[in-house]
Amino acid sequence: MHQLDKRGWVATGIDIANKAITAAQRAAEERGSDATFVAADAAAWEPERSYDLVTCNFGLPPQPDRRSAVYATMRRAVAPGGVVLLKVGDHTGSRAPAAFVGYESLNLEELKRGFEGFEVLKAKIVDSPAHAHAHGGPKQQRELWKALIFMARRPTA
């Protein structure tokens, strides 16, 4: 949730795993947050309201068709003039270990297509040492881990 709730945002978190939702609810209660959490599949979720910011942090599925469905949910959920922000692992080329089958086609071009008609504010590849750390591997390999950052604004009309 990036502590957006603490900065005055009305925040809703979704995750397909009940366990993740329970942990997030507990953490929110501990810090006095009024964020709400929903156990739902982002590929099928129908938001009841729209949001100024819709963000997805390392949460995209490996199947390209399910990723397209998540982009569609994000497009539905973001208000006109609002922003979508994604940070996802870059598993293209040499950074595509077998454990990440399905993610090879996930690149900045796919994200641009997924949000066609939106104004692209940021589309870049960055080093991702924390992401690498989570997945382990030899140190030399970890230094190669990258992430895609994509930010785009939904047009107002």
Q: Binding residues for ligand SAM, per CB under 6 A?
A: 14-17, 20, 41-43, 57-59, 61
Q: What token pair was written down for 23?
A: 């942990």
How far apart are CB 128 and ligand SAM at their closest, in Å? 11
Toward ligand SAM, which CB reaches closer, 1 or 108? 1
Toward ligand SAM, which CB reaches closer, 59 or 82? 59
Toward ligand SAM, which CB reaches closer, 28 or 42? 42
Toward ligand SAM, which CB reaches closer, 63 or 81? 63
What gap in Å lies between CA 128 and CA 137, rounded to an integer?
Answer: 14
Under a CB-based contact definition with an 8 Å cutoff, are residues 121 and 84 in contact? no
How far apart are CB 126 and ligand SAM at their closest, in Å? 15
Exposure class string for 9-39: b at 16+ Cβ within 10 A, else e = eebbbbbeeeeebeebeeebeeeebebebee
How far apart are CB 17 and ligand SAM at their closest, in Å? 4
Sign, CA torsion 72/74/80/85: negative
